[in-house]
């Protein structure tokens, strides 16, 4: 197989994996959202506290002006208010929603579950925040068709390879040298698919 063909296959596999992770994560967090909110806080290379969090409507991505110097930040699993490089925790969904509503003052745009907000936050300390919330329905809507298409394409290419066909276009390579005369791709032929006799 050529280098470009290998890179294309890897890109397809990576895209399918990313879509599957997005779909599975969205379904998991959506199913747990009535009782639990999950927060992953991390320190940016410039030292600011950023985070990804889930609530009962979607997944929120936030960037702040708060300096996480390694000595203070959101509590970790053991209740210690410290962020070295990152911290992950699970909190009650109701408590988290109330904290978001009561501790924020600024501007906000809402549309069909999407929320874009920027302003001042007063959680643990006062700082500026910019946040984008993407609803679960949107993440599931865009990732489900991509997962189905990727799975179908990978299954089709596997069937083509197992029957001695070009994995790029499906051309029958059982009587060729392994280089597809249709699209020019070089493929490794499955030995079990190569006929033992001549052409029928």
What is the per-residue pLDDT across 155-179, written as a single tens digit (0 to 9) for each?
888 888 788 787 777 778 777 666 7
Spell out, as residue ranges, where the chain has pLDDT lower than 50.
Answer: 1, 72, 191, 196-200
Q: What is the mean pLDDT of the chain?
A: 79
Reported pTM:
0.71
Is residue 188 helix, strand or coil?
Answer: coil
Nearest to 131 by CA among 64, 73, 67, 66: 64
Predicted pLDDT at 27? 94
> What's the rounded Cα separation, in Å, for the pair 59 and 120?
20
- Paired tokens of 174: 């059982």
Location of structure tokens 């597809």: 180
Q: What is the DSSP letter of 186?
A: B
């Amino acid at each position: 197989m050529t280098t470009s063909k290998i890179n294309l296959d890897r890109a397809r596999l990576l895209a399918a994996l990313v879509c599957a992770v997005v779909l599975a994560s969205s379904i998991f967090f959506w199913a747990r959202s009535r009782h639990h909110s999950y927060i992953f806080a991390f320190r940016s290379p410039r030292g600011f506290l950023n985070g990804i969090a889930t609530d009962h409507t979607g997944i929120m991505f936030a960037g702040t002006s708060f300096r996480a110097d390694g000595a203070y930040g959101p509590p970790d699993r053991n209740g210690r208010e410290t962020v070295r490089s990152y911290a992950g925790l699970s909190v009650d969904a109701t408590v988290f929603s109330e904290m978001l509503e009561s501790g924020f003052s600024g501007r906000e745009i809402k549309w069909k579950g999407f929320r874009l907000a920027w302003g001042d936050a007063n959680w643990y300390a006062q700082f500026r925040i910019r946040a984008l919330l993407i609803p679960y329905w949107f993440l599931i809507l865009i990732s489900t068709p991509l997962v189905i298409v990727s799975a179908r394409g990978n299954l089709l290419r596997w069937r083509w390879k197992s029957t001695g066909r070009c994995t790029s276009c499906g051309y029958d390579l059982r009587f060729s040298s392994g280089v597809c005369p249709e699209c020019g791709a070089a493929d490794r032929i499955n030995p079990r698919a190569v006929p033992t006799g001549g052409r029928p």
